[in-house]
Structure 1
Amino acid sequence: MSYRMLQAAALGLGILTFQGAISPLHAETQSATGALTGQLQPLAVHSLMLDIAQAGSTMVAVGERGHILRLSADANQWQQVATPSQAQLTKVFFLDVNHGWAVGHDATILATQDGGLTWQQQFSSPELARPLLDVWFADSQNGIAVGAYGLFLRTTDGGQSWQKEFHPELLSQDDADYLADLKQQDEEAYMAESDSILPHFNRVIALEDKRLLMVGELGMVAISEDGGRLWQRLEFIYDGSLFNAIERDKQLYVFGLRGHAFSAPEDMSQWQEIKMPLESTLNAAAPVKGGLLLVGNGGAVIRLDNNLHAELVTQRRGENLSAVAVDPKGRLWIAGTKGLFELKQQ
């Protein structure tokens, strides 16, 4: 196997438009130390947004240029907050109503302790030249952040410090054999190859039984029973990229490139492919009455019922959709290349 080139274009996702207003909560664009901070922009709500998460009674969305938006108390307006970074943010996670983390390009990690009103930078490493693509915390102290080419960071002190980990158990057998041979021949080449040989880690979620499920590039599906310290890579029926996963009613779903979606019981004993109405890449899902709502590239919005029947709800051509979430009032919000919008449920 040869050294793989960084495929940056494959790491970007998309978003949509919201018919609403935006009002800045703060107006700072430069920190006291002179570091670049996210700029408050009136049209940020219409810019590239990549993820949405619930934070107690509100919602928080993240996207390009370090933009972070909060849904107002009356749930009618997205409000931009100041951030300490201009790095593109790819994922946001809330442990509880107050404590949350956002991750993104330049291995950036931001944290909040007040429900997303204010943010502090915990980590950034532009020299790594790769983005973080997801973040998860077990409690206020223990968390992991994962990303491109096997980037894996861990904290045991709430994010005050982060340690890089290498997980060779997530290599394919061919890559593991290749590395073993290379180590015998050229230690320096082995170290260089080890740094980028792992697949992209795209999504990590906690299952109801407390295990972690992680999906990624090259059909990677892996399970951890100890908070991500040791992983078991599972045999899988597809070798393309998987971008997201969700658990619902003791059933697991994973989905990704070109409309490929799969389902299995919670023991993951047998995976089956789900026929989709489009071949659009699927980026995210949210639980809705009677099943799931999936969103993806090409503006695809697809409803998947409990019988694994998929139906196209709508298609917003010229847009890529990257996230979907349900707010505390039961409303569906979607993020994509053109910002945030509410999808009216019928």
Structure 2
Amino acid sequence: MAFFKRCSVMLLAWAALQGAARAEPYVDVLDLPAQPSALAATSALRDVSVAGTRLVAVGPRGHILYSDDQGSHWQQAQVPVSADLNAVSFATAQLGWAVGNDGVILHSRDGGQRWEKQLDGRVLGEQVLAYYQARAQAGGDQWARWVGEGERLVAEGADKPLLDVWFSDPLHGFAVGVFNLLLHTVDGGQHWTPWLERSDNPQGLHLTGLASADGALYISGEQGLLLKLSAAGDHFERLSTPYAGSYFGVIGKPGALLAYGLRGHVLRSTDGGAGWQVIKTDLNTSITAASLDARGRFWLASQAGDLLVSNDDGASFSPLAQTQRAPVSGAAFDSGAALVLVGERGIRTLAPDQPQQP
């Protein structure tokens, strides 16, 4: 029996060695280009944006898709990484940025067909640490905390999820992420400056979204955190709100600002975030995406696929009847006034002002 047991062990060891010999060598997702997939448009996606008349969507495994026919057909972009991507934003029809896990920031100069890497988590921590060390050496005890944050980022390695990105023009933009990760650029992303100390977020809460509304820039976050860029443009100030749960985004237009998040919560402000009113949605699922149509109506979408529309500047919402629904993580209106939704089941397009056929 011992002989057979030894033979079995030897055979198992030999099989393991053969399997190891055949195994592909590990390649970091930051070095592995996104792989082509015929199923990309029906697989999970996390955000969608408009680039002129083009639609661009991003998602896991570095997938970026673009459509030039209002979502009827999608092509896969050339992407240098296969890290999961969480958000995409375009400053012009040609210039766009995408952010994701592993501290990835990507840039496109051709409307989303080809992308290049501007930053990743392997160097982000070192850059943050060097930035705050230089300020500490220049004088001031207030920088010690931020040097410590830089050291933490370095120790964590590449794992630094960025959750949203926004640009006001081809040069000026922000990216936000977990644990108060806040970056700013004034040269189109060639350099990203840490702004960790420039937000009223002493607990280091996650920053979930960026949005401009009525001439102001807002950041949403967890545990009731809402921030607004100061009039001087050098600091994000905390706004007081009546909800202590997480916000997933902000959307607005002149005279009306909405913050939305967990368990169907929506808050509305008509004075730039100074005061807030709780808006009834009758939803218990998280609201994860929002968009404005050409008529100025607010649209909200939930994690369960619910769709709500407001005809009174966000003061109230009505549900949209749907024959099919799927979880939504991103929403945008295309140039043909159709609502494009992305989520765990890929892309779907609705013409919300036309009756849906069963």
Q: Do they fold alike, i.e. is TM over 0.5?
A: yes
User: Greater Rg, structure 1 or structure 2?
Assistant: 2
Contact 1:170 / 1:198 at 8 angstroms: preserved in 2? no
Greater CA deviation, 81-90 or 228-237?
Answer: 228-237
- Report the residue type matching 1:324 in the other structure: A
Aligned sequence identity (%) = 33
Q: Structure 1 pair 129/244, CA: closer, same or farther in 2 (3 Å)? A: same
Q: Is the 8 A contact 1:298 1:317 kept in 2?
A: no
Q: Tell me which amino acid in the other structure corresponds to 2:66.
A: R
Query: What residue number does 1:295 align with?
Result: 301
TM-superposition CA deviations, 1:77-112 (whole Å, max 9, x none): 111112111111111010001100000100100000
Aligned partners of 2:290 and 2:272: how far apart in 1? 21
TM-superposed CA distance for 1:155, in Å, is 2.1
Matched residue type, 1:96: T
**SS of residue in 1 equivalent to 2:320:** strand
Alpha-carbon offset, residue 42 of structure 1: 0.1
- Give the letter for the 1:286 counterpart: S
Per-residue Cα deviation, 1:321-342 (whole angstroms, up to 9, x for no partner): 1111100111110001000001
Work out the CA distance in 1 between the residues paired with 2:174 and 2:234: 10
Q: Which residue of 1 aligns with 2:105?
A: 109
CA contact (8 A) 2:33 2:79 kept: yes
Question: RCO (CA 8 Å, sep 6+): is it higher in 1 or 2?
Answer: 1
After superposition, the Cα gap between the structure-2 partners of 1:231 and 1:101, relative to the gap in structure 1 and judged at 3 Å, is same
Aligned to 1:325: 332
Query: Does the 8 A contact of 1:295 with 1:321 survive in 2?
Result: yes
Q: TM-score, normalised by structure 2?
A: 0.76
Residue pair 1:212, 1:227 contacting (<8 A) in 2 also = no
Q: Secondary structure at the match of 1:198?
A: coil
The yes-or-no answer on 1:276 pairing with 2:306 is no
AA in 1 matched with 2:88: V
1:151 maps to a residue whose letter is L
Q: Which runs of 5+ in 2 are unaligned?
A: 1-26, 123-156
State the partner residue of 1:159: 189
SS at match of 1:107: coil
In proportion to residue count, which structure has more helix? 2
Q: In proportion to residue count, which structure has more strand?
A: 1
Deviation at 1:128, TM superposition (A): 4.4
TM-score by length of 1: 0.78
- Equivalent residue runs for 1:310-321 within 5 Å: 310-314=317-321, 319-321=326-328
One-letter amino acid of the structure 1 residue matched with residue 189 of structure 2: G
Q: 1:238 aligns with which of 239, 243, 246?
A: 243
**Long gaps (5+) in structure 1:** 1-30, 177-196
Q: In the alignment, what sits opposite 1:125?
A: 121
Q: 1:298 touches 1:315 (CA, 8 Å); kept in 2?
A: no
The total of aligned residue pairs comes to: 289
CA distance in 2, matches of 1:318, 1:302: 13
What residue number does 1:260 align with?
A: 265
**Residue 318 of structure 1: how far off its partner (Å):** 8.2
1:284-307 Cα deviation digits (max 9, x unpaired): 111234632111111211223316
Let me know the Cα RMSD of the aligned residues: 2.2
What SS class does the counterpart of residue 38 from structure 1 fall into? coil
Is the alpha carbon distance of 1:115 and 1:290 closer, same or farther for their aligned partners in structure 2, counting shifts above 3 Å? closer
CA contact (8 A) 2:85 2:100 kept: yes
Is the alpha carbon distance of 1:267 and 1:75 closer, same or farther for their aligned partners in structure 2, counting shifts above 3 Å?
A: closer
Change (3 A) 1:227 1:53: farther
* SS of corresponding position for 1:65: helix
In the TM superposition, what is the alpha-carbon distance from 1:73 to its structure 2 partner? 4.0
Cα pair distance change 1:134/1:279, threshold 3 Å: same
Kept in 2, the 8 Å contact 1:152–1:164? The answer is yes
**1:31-110 residue pairs with structure 2 within 5 A?**
35-73=31-69, 75-110=71-106
Q: Is the 8 A contact 1:223 1:233 kept in 2?
A: yes
Determine which of 199, 202, 205 is the counterpart of 2:205: 199
The worse-fitting range, judged by mean Cα deviation, of 223-232 and 39-48 is 223-232
* Map of 1:304 onto structure 2: 310
Letter in 2 for 1:61: A
Residue 216 (str. 1) matches residue 246 (str. 2): no
Pair 203,57 (structure 1): closer, same or farther in 2 beyond 3 Å:
same
Question: Cα distance 1:316–1:50, how it changes in 2: closer, same or farther (>3 A)?
Answer: farther
